[in-house]
């Protein structure tokens, strides 16, 4: 399969790439601003350095086409950005930067890649339990949670919009995983799930989940947070 993973240089994204690369028949492109951790890992892993806030995406699509001539079977929108700040102190810049990375970038990346997708194809958007309706919410994460909630709604919408193209779209709302982003949001908290474990779960879901799900927002969490 031909697979693209954004936010691929560390944490869950990197572990997802590594899990997918275990099958030599998969070709994986990892997209991140910093790609040092991706270079030279395996022959079926290719890295593209790109800041996803730089839209439109013509240059990125051109780079993808240089590597991956065949159609894209799976896109995993994993890139995310979090600023921990109270509602009272959140600035317009804080808000906009999280909206831009967490919802605007995946929306327009999917749009830009539409001609490149296989039929069928699977798009997996990585959200957060903070963006899952009815879940526990935490101080300092309002803008982040709002942006991730929007990502969930986007998946539901695009599942309908893209149904005629045989492209299925789902969201995984991830709970606490042992990553730098978790430590930023909850300093000192110890997650029960490692990034390697979650990476394997996401990889498996990306490859098989479209057989059972479309337009679904799925919580993946065993704890609060």
Give the rounded percent of residues in the chain with a pLDDT score beyond 90: 91
Per residue in 76-101, pLDDT tens? 999 999 999 999 999 999 999 999 99
**What burial letters (b/e) apply to 36-57, b meaning 16+ CB within 10 Å?**
ebbeebeebbbbbebebeeeeb
Band of pLDDT at residue 61, cut at 50, 70 and 90: very high
Q: What's the pLDDT at 195?
A: 95
Q: What are phi and psi of 175, to 5 degrees?
A: -85, -155
Q: What is the pTM of this model?
A: 0.95
Which residue shows structure tokens 């600023």? 83
Per residue in 182-219, pLDDT tens? 888 888 888 889 999 999 999 999 999 999 999 999 99
Q: Which two tokens stand for residue 41?
A: 């890992």
Q: What's the pLDDT at 91?
A: 98
Tell me the CB-side half-sphere exposure of residue 40, using CA atoms within 13 A.
2
């Amino acid at each position: 399969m031909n697979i693209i993973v954004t936010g691929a240089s560390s944490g869950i994204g990197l572990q997802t790439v590594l899990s997918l690369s275990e099958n030599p028949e998969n070709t994986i492109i990892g997209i991140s601003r910093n790609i040092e951790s991706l270079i030279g890992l395996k022959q079926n892993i290719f890295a593209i350095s790109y800041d996803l806030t730089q839209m439109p995406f013509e240059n990125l699509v051109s780079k993808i086409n240089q590597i991956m001539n065949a159609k894209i079977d799976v896109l995993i929108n994993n890139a995310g950005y979090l600023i921990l700040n109270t509602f009272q102190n959140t600035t317009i810049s804080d808000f906009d930067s999280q909206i831009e990375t967490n919802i605007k970038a995946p929306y327009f990346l999917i749009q830009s890649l539409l001609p490149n997708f296989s039929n069928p194809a699977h798009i997996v958007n990585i959200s957060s339990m903070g963006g899952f309706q009815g879940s526990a919410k935490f101080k300092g994460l309002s803008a982040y949670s709002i942006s991730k909630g929007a990502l969930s709604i986007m998946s539901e919408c695009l599942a309908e919009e893209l149904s005629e193209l045989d492209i299925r779209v789902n969201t995984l709302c991830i709970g606490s995983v042992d990553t730098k982003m978790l430590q930023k949001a909850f300093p000192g908290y110890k997650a029960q799930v490692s990034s390697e474990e979650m990476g394997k779960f996401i990889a498996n879901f990306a490859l098989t989940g479209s057989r059972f799900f479309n337009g679904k927002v799925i919580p993946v969490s065993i704890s609060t947070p």
